Structure 1
Amino acid sequence: MSAVDKAKNVVQQTVGKVEEAVGKKTDDAELTAQGQKDQAMGAQRQNVEKAKDAYKG
């Protein structure tokens, strides 16, 4: 896994956490859902990159 891909995935997960927290504080269900979606997408990408590394190794 390249360091750039890993960093992008971590950033996406972090942004998702922030969006979710802000959405909950402001009672914005759409923003909360978007944050959860971003977190899931970042986690899924991490899993794909880990699988690629395992396959190569």
Structure 2
Amino acid sequence: MQFTEEKLNQATGTVKEGVGKLIGDKELENEGAAEKVVSKVKEVAEDAVEGVKNMLHKDDAK
């Protein structure tokens, strides 16, 4: 698995969410949760684009 900026953003979101829970800061907790979700969606979208590119290049090789 390749390390991406989105993985780093997911980790940052996890830390923010955890710190928010720990100190009782709902805003920070929600911000962290949102960062995780947005980063995961971006990562999945990037993977989908790569998959389509690979399929197109595979067809070109035939």
Aligning the two structures, in what range does the TM-score lie when normalised by the shorter sequence? Answer: 0.7 to 0.9
The list of structure 1 runs, each at least 4 consecutive aligned residues, that deviate by more than 2 angstroms after superposition, is none
Structure 1 residue aligned with 2:47: 50
C-alpha RMSD of the superposition: 1.1
Structure 1 vs Structure 2: percent identity of aligned residues? 26
Structure 2 residue aligned with 1:39: 36
Paired residue secondary structure (1:31): helix
- State the alpha-carbon separation in 1 of the partners of residues 24 and 33 from structure 2: 14
Length-normalised TM-score, structure 2: 0.80
Larger gyration radius, structure 1 or structure 2 = 2
Structure 2, unmatched stretches of 5+, are 55-62
Measured after TM superposition, the shift of residue 51 of structure 1 is 0.6
Structure 1 residue aligned with 2:16: 19
Structure 1, unmatched stretches of 5+, are none
**How many residues of Structure 1 are paired with residues of Structure 2 in the alignment?**
53
